[in-house]
Amino acid sequence: MNPFESFRLMSPFGMRIDPINKVPKFHRGVDLVTTPSSGPLYAFVAGEVIHAKEGVKGSGFGGYGFVVAIKDDKGYLHCYAHLSKAMVQVADKVLRGDKVGLQGSTGISTGAHLHYEIRKACSPSFGFTSTEIGVVEPTKYLQDYYAKEGLARVEIKDANAIIEKYLKPAWGTAKTREEKKEIGRLADELRVASGQERQNV
């Protein structure tokens, strides 16, 4: 199963001739192209947004243009770089398949594409390392991630029983909008895990 099936793979992970400087350089992610050039991009895995703006020099995202970075439940950081626009904000919780931004060519880039990179850490400097030690090969990471996610699936009747018995009463007595929002999010996590549609968008 290829997690990047809907994209054209422009440049793989690993050693390559750098397209800008024409010297051998380690490519820390994959370069993927979708059409049209400012087409929507969706989260490959769920997580919390910890960066959603133009990367500044020295931050760990210098030259990456507009970057959305999402921390997954294992503490790995998924970086979506060179976007023309970010469509999430810091602290947002996203699910797999949520729209995170629009493809672009911001930062050091030779044309519209998505540079997708998975870092092993989120700090300091958003887990940036100049060598390959700080990143993982994205295709294998996603395949392993999805395989484990598959095992963690929930039966529809169990998911709905938890929602009816615990989450709906909790939602009814929640005092703040934040609490209600969080309960709604948990209910949707259960719905998605059991193959159902989300109800709170």
Which residues contact Zn ion (rule: CB under 5 A)? 31, 115
Q: Closest CB to Zn ion among 31 and 72? A: 31
Give the nearest distance from C-beta 98 to Zn ion in angstroms. 22
Q: Which C-beta is closer to Zn ion: that of 64 or that of 192? A: 64
- Find where tokens 């949520």 sit: 98
Note whether 56 and 103 are within 8 A (CB).
Answer: no
Report, in Å, the least distance between residue 27 CB and Zn ion: 6
* Alpha-helical runs (H) found in 58-176: 138-151, 156-162, 168-173
* Calpha distance 124→140 (Å, rounded): 25
Pick 20 or 161: Cβ nearer Zn ion: 20
The CB-nearest residue to Zn ion is 115
The nearest distance, CB 117 to Zn ion, in angstroms, is: 7
List the one residue out of 55, 72, 66, 74 whose CA is nearest residue 128: 55
Give CA 196 to chain center in angstroms.
Answer: 21
- At closest approach, how far in Å is the CB of 121 from Zn ion? 19
**Closer residue to Zn ion, CB minimum distance, 47 or 65:** 65
